[in-house]
């Protein structure tokens, strides 16, 4: 079922973490070849991040244009507001990365796989990150089918303008052992957050139907795959600040970096552009490239960038990446560049709270803007 486990949680006391967002703000699309009817259409304007697509997982990424159609099977990975509409125009989807580290989950990029919409306006499988769903109809409700970990449910956005935010984050619990032959049950622990931002929303799973209403009202629902058994909602008097909070200055830097990526990609290729940007002297440009490499699962190129890193920023920030493999890869390179860092005791499988303490220690050991292994200047 879509809603197997829910927890009653409070947003009070959630600290704001300075996390690295998907610095590119890109929408990355894995489109399928063929003449099938589109299930969504890309929206691009002067203020939008560039869009990239690939026809299959073994094909290279390429930049696509406005109104590019997407068919069932297309994978979407996005950053700061990458946007698309359902084929019938009833639902708008926006994929958002965490600009400035305000979200309760450390979301670097957002990803979903589009599905054929049968008896609904839009359908997709949620992979990770955050998606905002908005009812764009002139009148009436809009229906969305969402699949999570193989189980499907239906979301009803009651009236035009109704908006729902979904955040999904997963991690391997501390002490999880690696296996070469994983079973279906060998999956990261799951956390899901649903917030009605505007209007009323119905979430219908196999065994439960949950009604959410924008604040003031029962606006929040959260799933904790580790502990919870029953769906519960949380009444909010107002929306949490992180829903709309943006770091304006950081956003300007990111858009400049994205513009550089677009220009380099046109002159060379996406792969070459990311390779060049990964070694830039500009911190934001480096972060853009490194996070994109991780989002694209380009581990060989990501490993090469980390192995020859001249700056600490990307490596230390990636100690908090939501993917265990990338956290481990970053730490492996860091302790070889700065052997003193072994004393910190960072472990990629530690809890988020434990990792935050260790990351703070790393940043004290290697100040931002310095080269790993370079001694700190005397005060």
Contacts of 96 (CB under 8 A, 6+ apart): 78, 79, 80, 81, 107, 110, 129, 130, 131, 132
Structural domains of the chain in order of their starting residue, each with its CATH number: 27-236 (2.60.120.1440), 268-365 (no CATH)
Tens digit of pLDDT for each residue in 325-376?
778 878 887 887 777 888 898 988 888 888 888 888 888 887 665 544 443 4
Task: Report in angstroms the alpha-carbon separations of 8 from 38, 51, 229, 315.
Answer: 39, 37, 11, 35
Omega within 30 of 0 (cis) for the link into 216: yes
Tokens found for residue 182: 């994983």
Distances (CA, A) of 362 to 105, 304, 319, 335: 21, 21, 10, 10
Decide: 225 and 191 in contact? Cβ < 8 Å.
Answer: yes
Q: What is the largest CA-CA distance in the chain?
A: 67
Pick from 21-30, 258-267, 278-287: least confident: 21-30
- Specify the pLDDT at position 140: 96
pLDDT digits (tens, 9 = 90+) for 146-175: 998 888 999 999 999 999 999 998 877 777
Q: 313: which 2 tokens?
A: 């920023």
Cα 111 to Cα 331: distance, rounded to the nearest angstrom: 25
């Amino acid at each position: 079922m879509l809603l197997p486990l829910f927890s009653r949680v409070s947003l009070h006391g959630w600290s704001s973490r300075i996390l690295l967002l998907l610095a590119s703000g890109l929408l990355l699309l894995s489109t399928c070849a063929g003449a099938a009817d589109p299930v969504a259409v890309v929206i691009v304007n002067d203020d939008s991040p560039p869009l990239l697509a690939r026809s299959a997982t073994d094909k290279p990424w390429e930049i696509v244009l406005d109104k590019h159609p997407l068919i069932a099977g297309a994978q979407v990975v996005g950053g700061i507001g990458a946007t698309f509409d359902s084929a019938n125009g009833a639902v708008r989807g926006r994929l958002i990365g965490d600009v400035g580290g305000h979200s309760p989950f450390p979301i670097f990029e957002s990803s979903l796989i589009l599905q054929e919409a049968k008896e609904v306006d839009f359908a997709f499988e949620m992979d990770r990150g955050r998606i905002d769903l908005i009812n764009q109809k002139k009148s009436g409700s809009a229906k969305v089918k969402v699949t999570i970990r193989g189980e499907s449910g239906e979301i009803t956005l009651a009236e035009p303008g109704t908006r729902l935010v979904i955040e999904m984050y997963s991690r391997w619990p501390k002490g999880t052992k690696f296996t070469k032959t994983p079973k279906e049950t060998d999956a990261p622990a799951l956390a899901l957050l649903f917030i009605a931002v505007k209007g009323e929303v119905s979430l219908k799973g196999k065994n439960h139907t949950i009604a959410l209403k924008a604040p003031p009202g029962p606006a929040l629902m959260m799933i904790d795959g580790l502990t919870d058994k029953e769906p519960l909602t949380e009444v909010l008097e107002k929306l949490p600040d992180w829903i709309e909070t943006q770091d304006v200055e950081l956003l300007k830097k990111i858009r400049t970096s994205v513009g550089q990526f677009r220009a380099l990609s046109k002159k060379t290729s996406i792969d070459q552009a990311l390779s060049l940007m990964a070694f830039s002297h500009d911190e934001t440009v480096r972060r853009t490239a490194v996070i994109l490499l991780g989002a694209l699962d380009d581990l060989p190129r990501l490993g090469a960038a980390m192995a020859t890193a001249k700056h600490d920023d990307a490596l230390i920030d990636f100690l908090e990446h939501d993917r265990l493999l990338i956290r481990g890869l970053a730490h492996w390179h860091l302790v070889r560049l700065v052997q003193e860092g072994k004393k910190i005791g960072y472990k990629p499988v530690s809890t988020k709270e434990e990792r935050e303490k260790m990351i703070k220690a790393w940043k004290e050991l290697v100040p931002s803007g310095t080269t790993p292994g370079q001694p700190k200047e005397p005060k």
